Structure 1
Amino acid sequence: MNRLPVTHQVPYYAQWESAALVPQFISGTSAADDPLWQKSGADTREEYAFWAPRMCGVACLRMALDFWGHTVPPSVPLLREAVEAGAYVRHGDQVQGLIYAPFAAFAGRRWGLHAQAVPDLAPERIADEVGAGRLVLLSVHKSIRTLDPDPPQRGGHLVLAVGVSDTDVLLHNPSGLPGRSQQFAPVPWAHLGRYYAGRGVILGQHKEITA
């Protein structure tokens, strides 16, 4: 792709409050057992346990907000705002979301970010956008955390592209493994297609005016 290495020093947030315990949570331990659950702003352990496994997009947004100097809301109050904005729709114990278009509109309205939902987002454009100073939420399969050679499908989980080079895209993964795939985790462009659903949301620091 002939891209100079670019890495944005984006702070990392897991979708659980205890980032060091992510291996336990993805192995089946209830988030209700997270000793830091109250930091999320949830009213109860149960509320936190319901939403934490579903908050990859919220975690990515919090990273972007921190990077661009905005006050970062606690995860559950931010999630509630996103629900109000239509970015998540709850039906009993089922949740539809993250829904990209209302999420992008919410991020633009609430913080003045450039936010664009892109249903057909080619790897070359990811590289261009990150190279130009933006961050990109990517829909990938969760097994990208281990670079599983045979994922069962593409998409279903959101990660944040924070860097690019000719060979790799660097990801902050809200459900990544500590010391392995949480922060600045390189994924070769040649392997990205195994996990990547080809869609995402581009985030920039300020709204961009187009003619």
Structure 2
Amino acid sequence: MVLGALGRPVPPIHAIRREVQAAGGYVEAADGTIRGLIYAGAVAWLAGQGIASRILLDQQARDLAGQGLTIASVHPAIRWPEGPAPGRGGHLVLVFGTDAAGRLRFHNPSGDSPASQEDVRLAPEDFDRFFAGRGIRIG
């Protein structure tokens, strides 16, 4: 998502995953499953692409507003924000701005409908219900 948002070519997702894994961004378990993203490895891979980034911890959604691109850890149930948040974190979205009403704008490529995938908008207090308070700031 970050490469595309920066106007760069986007290689196939598994090619990116292999490169990020080689930089320490993913760890493969003995059974072949891949654990979630390890931010330090992802930041190292981004640096190798000439993209400055840093790890964010202890954030609130309002901290993301007006800060450019942020990869944010949210619960996958953010696809259905009208319902309860069963937890926080474990899923990544790309926050890229705010709208005139102050809602965060983000892309969620694994959303289950176009409305939950591209240019999704949520008020910071609603985003916070799903947000783990951590992520990666780009730039």
Taking structure 1 as the reference length, what is the TM-score of the superposition? 0.61
1:98 to 34, 37, 42: 37
> What RMSD in Å do the two structures reach over aligned CA positions?
1.5
Identity of aligned residues (%): 36
**1:117 CA drift (Å):** 1.0
Q: Which runs of 5+ in 1 are unaligned?
A: 1-62, 205-211
State how 1:57-68 maps to structure 2 within 5 Å. 63-68=1-6
- Structure with bigger gyration radius: 1
Which amino acid letter does the alignment assign opposite residue 97 of structure 1? G
**5 Å matches for 1:56-95?**
63-91=1-29, 92-95=31-34
Alpha-carbon displacement from aligned partner over 1:156-192 (angstroms, at most 9, x marks no partner): 1000002213431011001113232110011111211
Q: What does residue 145 of structure 1 align with? A: 79
Contact preservation (8 Å) 2:21, 2:41: no
TM-aligned CA distance change 1:71 to 1:167, over 3 Å:
closer
In the alignment, is the contact (CA less than 8 A) between 2:96 and 2:106 conserved in 1? yes
Give 1:200 shift: 0.5
More helix by share: 1
* Alpha carbons 1:168, 1:187 under 8 Å: kept: yes
Residues 21-69 of structure 1: CA deviation (Å, up to 9, x unaligned): xxxxxxxxxxxxxxxxxxxxxxxxxxxxxxxxxxxxxxxxxx2212323
Q: Secondary structure at the match of 2:27?
A: strand
> TM-score normalised to the size of structure 2?
0.90
| 1:181 pairs with one of 101, 116, 123 | 116
Question: Is contact 1:137-1:200 (8 Å) kept?
Answer: yes
Aligned equivalents of 1:128 and 1:167: distance in 2?
Answer: 10
Residue 107 of structure 1 aligns with which residue? 46
Q: Cα deviation per residue 1:94-153 (whole Å; 9 max; x = unaligned)?
A: 3222001111111012x11111111222323211312xxxx1111000010111421221
- Within a 5 Å distance, the mapping from 1:125-204 to structure 2 comes to 125-130=63-68, 135-165=69-99, 166-204=101-139
Answer whether contact 1:163 1:184 (CA < 8 A) is retained.
no
Secondary structure of the residue aligned to 1:105 is helix
